[in-house]
Amino acid sequence: MRLFLLSVLIFLSFSVFSQEGPYSKVDSLMRVYKEKIKSVDDLYKVVYYIRTNFDADSLRLRASFIWITENIAYDVKAVIREDFSVANLSYVVRYKKTICGGYASLLKYFCDAFAIENEIVQGYARTGKRTIFLNQNSLRSNHAWNAVKINGTWRLLDPTWASGYTDDVDDSKKKFHKKFKEVYYFTPPEKLILNHLPENKKFQLTNKKTDKKDFRDSPLFMSDFLGDDISEVFPHVSLIKAKVGDTLTFKLKTEKRINSLSVFSEDHQKITHTGTTSYENGWLELRFPVKKTGYYYLYIGYFENIIEIRTLLGYRLEVK
- CA-to-CA distance for 237 and 316, rounded, in angstroms? 9
The structural domains of the chain, ordered by start, are 24-218 (3.10.620), 231-319 (2.60.40.10)
- CA-to-CA distance for 106 and 161, rounded, in angstroms? 14
- CA-to-CA distance for 41 and 202, rounded, in angstroms? 34
Contact between 272 and 263 (Cβ < 8 Å): yes
What local confidence, expressed as pLDDT, does residue 310 receive? 92
Nearest to 149 by CA among 192, 182, 111: 111
CA dihedral 203, 209, 214, 219 (to 10 degrees): -60
Other CB atoms within 10 A of residue 284 CB: 23
- CA-to-CA distance for 143 and 26, rounded, in angstroms? 28
Extract the residue ranges of the chain whose pLDDT is less than 70.
1-20, 267-271
With a CB cutoff of 8 Å and minimum separation 6, the contacts of 219 are: 132, 233, 235, 236, 237, 238, 313, 314, 315
- CA-to-CA distance for 290 and 277, rounded, in angstroms? 17
pTM reported for the whole predicted model: 0.90
Nearest to 130 by CA among 230, 238, 211, 223: 238
User: What HEC string does 172-183 produce?
Assistant: HHCCEEECCCHH
Strands (E) in 206-282, as ranges, are 220-221, 230-234, 239-242, 247-254, 260-265, 272-276, 278-280
What local confidence, expressed as pLDDT, does residue 19 receive? 41
Partner residues linked to 196 by β-bridges: 125
Q: Give the total residue count for the chain.
A: 320
Contact between 139 and 212 (Cβ < 8 Å): yes
Rounded to 5 degrees, φ, ψ at 207 are -70, -45
CA dihedral 94, 119, 223, 82 (to 10 degrees): 50
pLDDT per residue over 96-154, tens digit each? 999 999 999 999 999 999 999 999 999 999 998 889 988 777 788 999 999 999 999 99
Burial of 95 (0-12, 13-18, 19+ CB in 10 A): middle
